[in-house]
Structure 1
Amino acid sequence: MANWSSQKAWLENVRSDIRNRMDRTGQYGLDDAMSDELSELSLYDNHPADIGSELFERGKDVALRDLDKLRLQEVDRALDAIDGGTYGVCAECGERIDPDRLEAYPLATLCIDCKRKDEREHPDRSRPIEEEFLTPGFGRTDLDETDNVAFDGEDSLQAVWRFNQRPGYDEEYDYLAQDDYLNDNEGIVDDVEKITNDEYKSQLP
C-alpha cells in the first residue's frame, strides 16, 4: 500500500480550515436576513440600484459558503478513500494515478489521460450557458425558410448595421455580406421573388 502521509496531512489541514470558517460566527455574513443587515423594514420601496452593492456582497458570501461546502465534500471523499485503500485509483479507468499528480493535487480522482479526455468532452464554460439560447442574437425571431414575411430579428440586425453605416467608408455595405446567413431576404418567401424586374425583362426573347 502506497504511503499517502503527505497528502493526508494536506487534506486534514484543508478540512480543518474549512470547518473553522463554517463554525466561526458571521464568517460568511449570512447570519442575519438581508433586510435586517440593511436596517430596512422592507426592500420593496427601494430601487434595485439602491441596494446593488449589498446584493452583490450577499451573492458573493453565498458563493463562498457553497464553494467551501463542495470542497469539504471532496476532501472528506479523499480522506475516506485513503482510509479505505482506494485512494490514488482513477475513478474512470481504474488505473493508478501518477503519484506526482497526487502530490501536486491531492484531490485528483482521475488519471491525467482520463482528465484530458474529460476536459475535451466537458470543457469549462467561459460564457454563461444562456448564450446558447440567445445566439445568434436574432435566433428566436428568425423567420427564414418559412412562409412568414414579417420583419424578423435578422432584418432588425441588418437595419441597425445600415443605420450605423459610416458615410464614405461603408458605402458598399460589404460588412453586411460577411456572414452568408445574413442574406437580407426581407419580404421574400420563394427564391423566384428575388428576381428583379430588370432581370426578368432581360431574359425575354
Structure 2
Amino acid sequence: MSHLSSAQLQELKHTLLEEKKELEHHFITNGEEDASHGESLTDSTGDLSTVDNHPADQGTDVFERERDLAVNNTLNDELDQINAALKRMEKGNYGICEVCGQDIPFERLQAIPFTAFCVDDSPEQSLRDDRPVEEQVMTPPPSGAGEGRQEHDRRFDDADAWEAVEDYGTSNSPAMAAKRDVEDYDDGM
C-alpha cells in the first residue's frame, strides 16, 4: 500500500463504507435480505390464486420476479466485493493487483474502489459466446431475406406487393375519387 497516501486510503475507505451502507439499506428496506431463496411467486405477488389471472399477467409477474432476483444477485456480488476490499485494507494489501502484484493506480481505485485487479489483468466482462439451444433446431430464413435481399433485387417479395396490386386500381368507386367527374376506376387515382 506504499503507493497510496493515508488521505487517499481514507477517501477510498469512506467511499467503500458508504457504498456498503447503501447496499445494506437497499436489502433491509426492500425486505430482500434472503429474497433469492425465500418466497414463492404467489407469495411475492400477493395473489391468493393464479386461477383468475390472464397468462400474460402471470408472464409479467414471472419476468419482474426474475429481474428483481437478477438485480439482487448483482448487488449481492457487489456487496461481497466491497467486503473483500475492506478486508484487504485491514490486511494491508489493498490497491495491489491480485494477479501481477503491481500497484493499482489511485484513479482506477477511485472509479472502482472494490477492484482487486489492474486494468491489464481485469477479468473479461464480455457476453457469453454460447448460443441458445433453440437455434440448433430452427430452420434458416428463406433465401432472399435479410442480408441476401439486395442480391435478389427486382424479385417479388412483400415489399413489392403494393406496386403489383396498384396496377389494378383501388377498391374505391369513381364516386369516392379525389378528382371530379371520374367515370373509370383507374382515373380516380
- Bigger Rg over Cα: 2
- Distance of 2:121 and 2:61 partners within structure 1: 42
- Output the CA distance in 2 between the equivalents of 1:163 and 1:87: 55
Give 1:34's match in structure 2, choosing from 38, 41, 53: 41
C-alpha change, 1:53 and 1:169, in structure 2 (3 Å) is same
RCO greater where, 1 or 2, for CA within 8 Å and sep 6 or more? 2
Q: Map Cα deviations across residues 123-153 of structure 1 (whole Å, 9 max, x no partner).
A: 511x77334x56xx5xx47xxxxxxxxxxx8
Tell me which moved more, 68-77 or 15-24: 15-24
Using the alignment, how far apart are the partners of 1:94 and 1:112 within structure 2?
12
When structure 1 is superposed on structure 2, of 101-110 and 80-89 the one drifting more is 101-110
Q: Flag the 1:47–1:102 CA change in 2: closer, same or farther, 3 A.
A: same
- Structure 1: any 5+ residue segments left out of the alignment? 142-152, 172-205
Structure 1 distance, partners of 2:144, 2:102, is 60
How far off its partner does 1:157 sit?
Answer: 3.5
Give ranges in structure 2 of 5+ residues lacking alignment: 157-189
Cα RMSD (Å) of the superposition?
Answer: 3.5
Return the letter of the residue paired with 1:129.
D
Q: Kindly provide the amino acid, as one letter, of the partner of residue 130 in structure 1.
A: R
Question: Matched residues in 2 for 1:68 and 1:22: separation?
Answer: 9
* Counterparts in 2 of 1:25 and 1:102: CA distance versus 1, 3 Å: closer
1:46/1:128 CA distance change after superposition, 3 Å: farther
| In 1, Cα distance between equivalents of 2:32 and 2:94 | 32
Residues 87 and 46 (structure 1), Cα distance of their counterparts in 2 relative to 1, 3 Å cut: same
Counterparts of 1:13 and 1:44, CA distance in 2: 45
Q: 1:24 aligns with which of 11, 29, 32?
A: 29
| Larger deviation, residues 54-63 vs 65-74 | 54-63
Aligned equivalents of 2:145, 2:112: Cα separation in 1: 54
Displacement of 1:56 after TM fit?
1.8
Residue 17 of structure 2 is aligned to residue 12 of structure 1: yes
Q: Distance in 2 between matches of 1:16 and 1:33?
A: 28
How many residues were matched structurally? Answer: 145
Counterpart residue identity of residue 10, structure 1: T
In the alignment, what sits opposite 2:164? Answer: none
